[in-house]
Every structure is written in structure tokens, then in C-alpha cells.
Amino acid sequence: MMAKKQFSIHHALAAGAVAGTVSGFVKLGWENILPPRTPERDATNPPQQFLEQLGLPKKLAHATFHYNGHDIPWTSLAIHFGFSTSLAMLYAVVRHYMPLAKLGKGTVWGLGVWSVAHLAAMPAIGTVPPAKDQPMEEHISEALGHAIWNWVNELVLEEMEDKK
């Protein structure tokens, strides 16, 4: 008889950090295929707007580094990966105690994150327009992107569990 693997919150958090980093790159790639915002609305993207709301000067919120002819918004990326890893770490723990969170290989959790963040929380604090005023293309890109983002989290977490 095989012994049941013991749950370690420290391992779950570490695995979640790895999963969130991988899935964060996937989500960035997704947004290159189906951009969630128009160029006008992306002139100040949600991470930049959020940082400005917190009092960060616009110059720092919009800070970039130059690579291969492109200006890369490093502060936006820091927020993007911060949210991706922290929410993946939360998911890594929650899925252990509430297996229902893994429904649809984690895609339902991803849709829940999108709903709470993009349809409720960010509009409530004024980071993005109310959900009814956001273009349908934004909803499609963000909903599918979050479902895929957390599906990747689930795949990485499963793979890391198998390696313990």
C-alpha cells in the first residue's frame, strides 16, 4: 500500500510561485494574440493606473527599459507577475483544501479570478471602467486568458506534485 503524500504549505507556496511565473509568461503571450485593450486604453494600462492610484508618480508607473527596438514596461510587468504568482500561490493552497477549485483543470478558478478582478474589484476602485463599459473584446480576451492562465497553473502544480 502506497503512503499518502503529506501536504506541505511551504511546498505548495513554492510550487505556486513557480506555476505563477510560468503562467504569467503564458498570459503575456495570450495578450499578444488577443490584446485585451485598444491602443488608446492601453496608453495607461491597468497596472500603471493602479500604481498611479497608489500615489506612484506617472514617470515611475510608466517606466520602461529598451530592448531590441521596443520599450518594455517593467513596472507593469512587475505588477503582472506579482499578481500572477501571488494568486497562483493562493490557488496552490486552496486546491488542496477545496478540491472543487480544480474544476475544469482550474479554468473555473481562473474565470473566477477574472470576474472578481476585472468585473468587480478594479472597476470598484476606478482602475478600469465599469464592466458594462468595457468592450466585449476585452471581456473575451481577459476571460479566456484567465482560464488558460490558471489551467497552466494547474498543469504545473500537478507536474510538481508528481515529482515529489
Asked if the structure places residue 124 within a domain, the reply is yes
The structure's pTM equals: 0.92
Question: Which distant-in-sequence residues (6+ apart) come within 8 Å of 109 by Cβ?
Answer: 91, 94, 95, 101, 102, 103, 150
- The SS3 assignment for 118 reads helix
CA dist 146 and 45 (Å) reads 17
Q: Is residue 97 part of a domain?
A: yes
Residue 145 lies in a domain: yes
Q: How many domains does the chain have?
A: 1
Domain of 20? Answer: 9-31+77-162
Q: 66 φ, ψ to 5°?
A: -100, 130
Q: Name the DSSP letter for residue 72.
A: E
In a domain, 40, yes or no: no
Tell me, yes or no, whether 71 lies in a domain: no
What is the structure's pLDDT at 126?
98
* Residue 95 included in any domain: yes
Percentage, residues of the chain above pLDDT 70: 97
pLDDT at 163: 74
Residue 56 lies in a domain: no
- The predicted-structure confidence for 6-61, as pLDDT tens digits, reads as follows 899 999 999 999 999 999 999 999 999 999 999 998 999 999 999 999 999 999 99
Q: Which residues contact 51 (CB under 8 A, 6 or more apart)?
A: 60, 61, 75, 79
Maximum distance among all Cα pairs of the chain, rounded to whole angstroms? 61
**CA distance readout (Å), 108 to 18, 61, 114, 162:** 20, 31, 10, 23
How far is 99 from 96, CA to CA, in rounded Å? 6
Tell me what the pLDDT averaged over the chain comes to: 95
Q: Tell whether 48 is covered by a domain.
A: no
Neighbouring C-alpha atoms within 13 Å toward the C-beta of 105:
11
Q: 24: how many CB neighbours lie within 10 A of its CB?
A: 22
